[in-house]
Each structure stands twice: as structure tokens, then as C-alpha cells.
Structure 1
Amino acid sequence: MSALQLCWLRNDLRLSDNHALWHAREQGPVVVVCLLCPTTWQEHADAPIKMDFWLRNLASLSHDLQALNIPLRVLEVPDWQDAPEALLQLADEIGSNGLHFNDEYGIHEQQRDDAVAATFERAGRSCQRYTDQLLFEPGSLLTQAGSMFKVYSQFRRLAYRELHRSCPPCLPRIAAQDQAPCASDPVPTELADFRASDSQRALWPAGEAAAAERLSLFCEQIMADYDAQRDRPDVDGTSRLSAYLTGGVLSVRQCLHAALTCNQGEFDSGQAGAVSWINELLWREFYKHILVCYPRVSRHRAFRPEMDAVPWRNDPAGLQAWQHGKTGFPILDAAMRQLLATGWMHNRLRMLSAMFLTKNLLIDWREGERWFMQHLIDGDLAANNGGWQWSASTGTDAAPYFRIFNPLTQSERFDPQGDFIRQWLPELAGLTGKQIHQPIKADLFNAIDYPAAIVDLKQTRQRALETFKSLGDSA
């Protein structure tokens, strides 16, 4: 009889194309385990809506595992440092000699996983780890000098070459087993401090079936126009799959193969929408490789060390206005209200909001990075950090410091009729045309319950240019 295998799932809550789960099941009967660690989630600023979504996906996975006669054990630990002992005790309890899990890439996650592997090795048990979150193992795509790329376009070029050479396949759904080796644990319906509203839950249905349904909708109805529509917050022009990717309810390989199917097998030519979306998947890949190869970005440091010298302003009133959608710039305030209400913000507006905070307000990017993580259902350390440092001109392949998005011109360009603004700022619903982009200037004689702009864009742009220029031309 094959030995019992223990599979530890984290942000990989699916039965299909799951390397750790598939390999564990191939080696024998399997028991799945998940750890609850609210203290660490709070320390990492994980959003309540994100962890509520994770818990709902865990409940969906439990149901799917039951149908395959695979037990799910759910353990709560005080801190991640308690994971090694908790997992080893469970292995002793069920009589398992082997642990399987997919690698995660934040610095604390790597330390935790290394400690788990070392604990199992000392106990004489096997521990098998897999690259699952990514198409390529971090550190496998390097420059000719043997270092990690710092420029995305160069990274993408090599990634395309490797994908043409060998495209990673999707593993099949795991098979059922004859007899459950132990009983399953119940999945909590909610945890204190990690609750989402009913309206938020309705926006984000949980489970593999829901993720597959959204992927199919995107491929069939949206992807063809993705390149042209993805910057428009007033239309449903993006995949909205990021929450499912972050929670591992959907794999990056499933997304890639779906795009290739739509594009007759082409990576970098053919349908513009498919090519553009594959490009976004590779940006996600790039930032996770950066996280591993340059761990200082996990320690709240600027990727470019010289940018730690930026003299950020202490402006609590400005930060609070930005956080709560009261800047007086409708596109920014609508974006923030979308985030607070739904746990998600359109990607174009994430960049615009980040540039306003770091350039026009000259507030430290780390304040915004943390705020986003505290509210995003798709909060991902690598992507969130990468995006913020790009916008703040402190990161790898960053926007030049003199590139500062103007929220008024961006609003007129990407929400031309004001439909997005009108959806989230009902107090401006009566304004039409260009009025809605600059409401105070639009109607001086009629009172509008909307704040005046908190800064002068021209003056604050000049202040940012002078501040960054003072650091030297390298900025």
C-alpha cells in the first residue's frame, strides 16, 4: 500500500493544475491541510475582504475534496513560526511520512517554508516543494552576466524565448481516492477582524467553478478588445481575474493556455488583446522574480537604494483625503470609493492614484502600498510593491520621475463621458460633459456637496520635479 501523503495548501486553493496536490496524490492517498494564522495576516496588512475571500474559497475546496474522498484538516496557529511544529504533529497524528507544498515568495513566506522543510528533514520525513505560482522558477531567467533583469522588456524577451521552446502544460484534475484516511475539519464561515459585507461577497463568488466561469467570459467576450479597452474604467474591459490568481483558485498556466487558445497558439503576435493580456501575466511574473532576487523590496526598501533619500512630506490631512476619496479630483475619489466598496480598483486608476500620492502630495509610497494591501481583495506583495515603486519612480524599470499623470487629462481621456465618476460619486451625477471632471470650476453659483481640490496640480508637479531632480540625474 502506498504511503500516506500530506499536502499543505496556501494560496493554491484548487484541484486542477496544482503541482503539490497532483504530485502528492500520484504518490499515494493524500490528506490536505490548511493553516489559519490571523495574527500574521494582520501583521502583513492583509485586507479583511481578501481573507474572507480566501476562507470562502477554502470552504468551496473542502466541498470539492469531499467529493473525491480527500480529507481537509484546518489548523489555527498563533504565528507563522508555529507552522513547522503544527505540521509535524499532524504528520505524526495521521501517520504521514511526506509533505508537499508549492513555494511562496515573500521573504517571511520563504523563511517559514524553509523552517518547515528543515523540521521535516530533521524528523526523517520527506518534504517536496514545487514551482506552481509562476511559469518559471525565480532565478531561472537571468542576464548573460548571471543576474536578475532590472528592465521588464528584457525579461519579457527571454521569457517569450523560453515559452516558445517549452510552454509549461496544465496538470489534470486530481483523481478521487478509495478511502478517506481521516476525518475532515469544518471550515469557519468567518473570522473576527476578517469579514466582508454581503454586497462584497456577491461581487466575488468563490470557488474553481466561479473562476473558470469568469475566465471563459473574459476569453469569449472581452479579450479581443482588451488592448483597446483595458485602460477604460467606465467599461468592463479587464479580466477581473486577479483575485482568483492571488488566491490560487486559478493558475497562471490556465490563464496562459486560455489566451493561447484564443490566439491560435501565438504568444507575441496575432490578436492584440490576447498578446496584451499575456504581457500583463508576464509583468506579474517579473515582479515575483524581483521579490526573490532583490529581497530588500520585501523589507520596505526602495528597489533603487539612492531613492531611499527622497524627502517625503509628512501630510496627515492630505493622506487622509486621499485615503477616503476627498481630494477634489473626481477620477481619484471615484477610484478610491470603488476600492473601499468592492475591494478592487481598476489598474489604470491604481497607477493614477499612486502617482498623485507620491508626486503631487509627495507622500511616501509605503503609505499607499500599505493602504492598498489593507483593502485589496487581490492584494499581492510583489505586484502591489512593484506597481507602487514604478509609480513613485523608486523601483525597477520605474516611470521616469518627470512622468507625472495629470488626473484631469487622464479622466477626460479614459472616462470621457464621466460614467465611471457618476457611478461612484452620485453627488456629481447631474453634471455633464467636461463639468464632471472639474466640478468646482464648472458651476461656481450652484452649491455642490463635493470638496475643492486639495492641491494645485501645476505647483505640486513642479515641486515634485525639483525634489527628484535634487537627488541627481540618476533619479
Structure 2
Amino acid sequence: MSGVYWIRRDLRTHDNPALSAAVAQGVNTAVFISTPQQWQQHNLAPIKADFIARHLLLLSQQLAVMGIELVHLHAQAFDDQNTVLTKFCQQRGYSQIYANSEPELDEINRDERLGQSGLSLNIFHCDTIIPPGNVLNKQGEMFKVFTPFKNAWLQRLRQTGVAYQALPDIEPARTIETASQCVKFDYPLVDSTAWPLADVVMAQVFPRFIQTKLERYGAQRDIPSIKGTSGLSPYLAIGAISPRWLALQLIQQVPEILEDQQHLAFSWLNELIWRDFYKHLLFHYPSLIKGDSFQPKYQGAKWIGSEQDFNAWCQAKTGYPLVDAAMRQLLQTGWMHNRLRMVVASFLTKHLLVDWRLGEQFFMSHLIDGDFSANNGGWQWAASTGCDAQPYFRIFNPITQSQKFDPNGKFIRKYVPELANIPDKHIHFPHEYIAQQGIDVGYCLPIVEHKQARLRALAFYKAY
């Protein structure tokens, strides 16, 4: 058959409409195009690159059982993808390309150009539970507040159900051999094997989460010392697990979930809705991909934070234990607890008045679950520049956040071990205790004073 399946952000065989359509047409070739120059420009974290490589190898093995060959093509720059793919298709005599959509502006423009090259590009959607453009207000526009979006999203899902797509049954004539070299990247890699592969997560980890943690998720998700979250964000970010599959599993387990927002399990579904919300925003407001503030009044904001303060934040040397512990978790593991992402983002943008875009880029360059729409949405929420963001006068106090969510300092002690022997009462801001005791534990002094920083932030935002 004269066609090829183009793997992009969909490293899975389940709920993959482009793959299903390709298989139905007898396609037996899949391609993945690596673009290391573009990855560098877009701050792809080395641990995420390794995570992609591992899942690409897994996918090549799964496709091989289906009689589909996976070919790794190399294109240094983003704009080279079409040239490389067109040349490959010409060499093989392929005219049809099957691919799942990518929501970013450059990717949309790339696909339009490819469609003008003489090749037939068949695009499908599978990155959100409800496709962008299908949850609108009465004026036919995108919601600018999350709660009415959520309510409309739930109503639509009640009407349509989850559009999960199973792979057609096929019996390949033969299982082809796979070659591990097909997934070797010319890009820095950091070991990601602390995270199991998606097939293990789907078979073991997620069912265990549903059975043992789901109803406690709302109560435990904000406690960083407890493994109370699902840990699925890295798999969603690279498309190794379908969000529609997750929604379907949840609804089957808790059939009333779409009707009952008070159900203990709803807070987890709410996270999937937030994910859709940010991806729908990107679809309707493509300028976000260019670094624009969602609220125009902040577009020209002159952020006055110093490079020295930004570097201290990056290096986990702010003198606020919860902030530093969170940043060390990121630097050491490539992941950060969601509550702490809000705390450290608020600290950078409000306490230090550093441009949120610098924090956004730093996160992307380190996170195994870096996803542009969610990362951008989260940073603009914290900086009060985004859609349905926290009001500018809401400034997280890192000391009280620590007292509330890490009351015994268990998380702090894990990542800031120099404070291991500080009493619980003092560990959230230990400097006065350390001075009174006349000891030197090797922990840095605070780079700002909370009350003064808060007043400075209020004055800064009021100016806009």
C-alpha cells in the first residue's frame, strides 16, 4: 500500500486514529522524525528525550508484531521535516500520509505546507478528550473562565460519550524484526528508567491507582511527601497513554462521575479537564505559542527581577526551604509535585518579579512531563497574566504553604538534608533558630524578605 503512518506526539497503538486508518488501508511503514535542533530551541528536557526514545523502541516492537516497520528519519531543523518526509515517500512510492494532529501554530503551518507538496496528508485528532473547537460558549467562542468550560465539557461528554478508538484486529503475515538503532537520538539524554514504560503503567500502575488512591486523591494530592498523584503526566505529554483511555477507565469505574462533581473521584477527572482547557486555549489563541501574555495589559510588563535572583531560584538557593526542596526535586528527578509547581512559580514571579517566561523555559528544559500548553497555562496562572489566572494580589506565602502541606518537614528533609535536624516548628523558615543556636548547617540565607517582597509585588502589578 502506498502510504505511511507518521508518528508524532502519539507513541502508542491504543486509541490512535491515524494508526487505525493506516492499518485499515494496509500501510506497513511508520516513520518518526527527530529534530534535535528544534528540540534544543524548544528546551526539550534530556530526561524527556530519553523517555521518548524508550517509548519509541517499545512502539517499534508493538508495531513489528503488527507487521509494521518503524523507520527513524533525521531532520536537524523543524523546517526540514517536510523535505525529509517527502524524499522518503518518493523513494518508496508512497502518496498517503496518516498522522494525528499537533495543536501548535508551527506544526499546523507545517502540515498545511506538506499538504501542498503533492502528498495526501490525512489528519486525525486524539490528543484531548474532546477535540478543540467543540466546547464553546453561547456566542460560539472559547470560554475564558475554567468553571463554565468544565460544565460545558461535562455536558458534551454526557451527550457524546468518550470517542475512544480501538485498533482494528489484524493478523500480519509475519512479525518483522526491530532494530534498536532506530531510536538513537543525536541529543543529550538523562536516564528516565525510574519511570516504567506505558504498557506496565496501563496494566499495573493505573489500575492500582484507581483501586487504592483515587478516592483519596483530593485529600492527598497537595501533600508532596505522599505519593498521592497518578504520575501519568509524562505519558500524556508524549502520547504514550491516551487521555480518552484514562477517561473511559474512570467512567467505567465510577459511572456517576460526569453527573456528580462532589464525588471524591471528581478532583482527578478535574485535572484531565484542566488539561483539555489549556490545549483548547492554545487552539483558539495561537499567539500563546509566541510567548504572549493572555491578558494584553501585561504584554509589555517590565519585569524587574534580577539575574542573580533568577539564578538563585534555579539553583535552589532562595533560603525558603519548601521552594528549595521543590527545585531540588526538579533538578534531581526531572519532575516536581504539582502543588509545589504553583509555589515556586508564584515565588519567582511575585517574590522575585522575574519574567514568567524564564521560569516556563527552565521548567521545560528539566521536566520529564514538559507539555507546552499545560506549562504555559500553569506559569501564566501563577503570574496572574493568564486565562482565569489567580488574581495578582494572591501571593503564596512559602512559609505558610510549607506549614500547611509539609507540616513535619518530611519533604523538606528529603531534598534539603542540611536541615534534617531542625525541629519541625522551625524547619519551614529556620534562619532565626539557626542563629539562636549558633550553628552552621550550610543552608543559604533568604534572598528576599516575604512581607517586603509582597508589598513590592502588589505595587508592581497595580501599575498595570
Pair in the same fold by TM > 0.5: yes
Aligned to 1:407: 398
CA distance in 1, matches of 2:30, 2:237: 20
Asked if the contact 1:70–1:176 (Cα under 8 Å) also holds between the matched residues in 2, the reply is: no
Is residue 379 of structure 2 the alignment partner of residue 388 of structure 1?
A: yes
CA distance in 1, matches of 2:413, 2:175: 56
- CA shift, 1:186, in A, is 4.3
Aligned to 1:139: 133
- Deviations, residues 136-185 of structure 1 (Å, cap 9, x unaligned): 22222222122211111111111111000011232224544534699866
Is residue 98 of structure 2 the alignment partner of residue 126 of structure 1?
A: no
Is residue 447 of structure 2 the alignment partner of residue 454 of structure 1?
A: yes
- Deviations, residues 99-130 of structure 1 (Å, cap 9, x unaligned): 110001112222222222222xxx2x432111
Unaligned stretches of 5+ residues in structure 2? none
CA distance in 2, matches of 1:464, 1:376: 27
Asked if the contact 1:331–1:411 (Cα under 8 Å) also holds between the matched residues in 2, the reply is: yes
Is residue 325 of structure 2 the alignment partner of residue 334 of structure 1?
A: yes
More displaced stretch, 211-220 vs 296-305: 211-220
CA distance in 2, matches of 1:334, 1:406: 15
Asked if the contact 2:70–2:182 (Cα under 8 Å) also holds between the matched residues in 1, the reply is: no
Is residue 270 of structure 2 the alignment partner of residue 279 of structure 1?
A: yes
CA distance in 2, matches of 1:216, 1:454: 44
Aligned to 1:156: 150
- CA shift, 1:429, in A, is 1.1
CA distance in 1, matches of 2:185, 2:95: 32
- Deviations, residues 2-48 of structure 1 (Å, cap 9, x unaligned): x3431101111111111111111122233111001101100111111
Aligned to 1:289: 280
Q: In structure 2, do the counterparts of structure 1 residues 78 and 289 end up closer, same or farther at CA, with 3 Å as the change threshold? A: same
Match of 1:17 among 6, 10, 15: 15
Is residue 439 of structure 2 the alignment partner of residue 440 of structure 1?
A: no
Structure 1 counterpart SS, 2:116: helix
Show the 5 A alignment for 1:67-466: 67-119=65-117, 123=118, 125-179=119-173, 186-188=180-182, 190-197=184-191, 201-269=192-260, 272-444=263-435, 445-466=438-459
CA distance in 1, matches of 2:27, 2:307: 56
- Deviations, residues 85-104 of structure 1 (Å, cap 9, x unaligned): 22222222333331110001
Unaligned stretches of 5+ residues in structure 1? none
Q: In structure 2, do the counterparts of structure 1 residues 230 and 268 end up closer, same or farther at CA, with 3 Å as the change threshold? A: farther
Structure 2 counterpart SS, 1:434: coil
- Deviations, residues 318-376 of structure 1 (Å, cap 9, x unaligned): 00110011101110000001001111101110011000000000110001000000000
- CA shift, 1:285, in A, is 0.5
More displaced stretch, 384-393 vs 11-20: 11-20
CA distance in 2, matches of 1:404, 1:435: 22
- CA shift, 1:258, in A, is 1.8
Structure 2 counterpart SS, 1:290: helix
Q: Name the aligned partner's letter for residue 196 of structure 1.
A: V
Structure 2 counterpart SS, 1:11: coil
Q: Name the aligned partner's letter for residue 165 of structure 2.
A: L
Q: Name the aligned partner's letter for residue 87 of structure 1.
A: L
Q: In structure 2, do the counterparts of structure 1 residues 333 and 174 end up closer, same or farther at CA, with 3 Å as the change threshold? A: farther
Q: In structure 2, do the counterparts of structure 1 residues 184 and 286 end up closer, same or farther at CA, with 3 Å as the change threshold? A: same
- CA shift, 1:454, in A, is 0.8
Structure 2 counterpart SS, 1:437: coil
Q: Name the aligned partner's letter for residue 12 of structure 2.
A: R
CA distance in 1, matches of 2:175, 2:268: 42
CA distance in 2, matches of 1:105, 1:270: 29
- Deviations, residues 223-275 of structure 1 (Å, cap 9, x unaligned): 11001111110101111100000011100101111221231342241773421
Asked if the contact 1:48–1:195 (Cα under 8 Å) also holds between the matched residues in 2, the reply is: yes
- CA shift, 1:81, in A, is 1.3
The normalised TM-score by structure 1 is 0.93
Structure 2 counterpart SS, 1:35: strand
CA distance in 1, matches of 2:441, 2:125: 54
Q: What is the aligned length? A: 462
Asked if the contact 2:99–2:124 (Cα under 8 Å) also holds between the matched residues in 1, the reply is: yes
More displaced stretch, 323-332 vs 178-187: 178-187
Q: Name the aligned partner's letter for residue 238 of structure 2.
A: G
CA distance in 2, matches of 1:284, 1:181: 37
The normalised TM-score by structure 2 is 0.95
Match of 2:39 among 17, 38, 41: 41
- Deviations, residues 283-318 of structure 1 (Å, cap 9, x unaligned): 110111111111121111101111123221140110
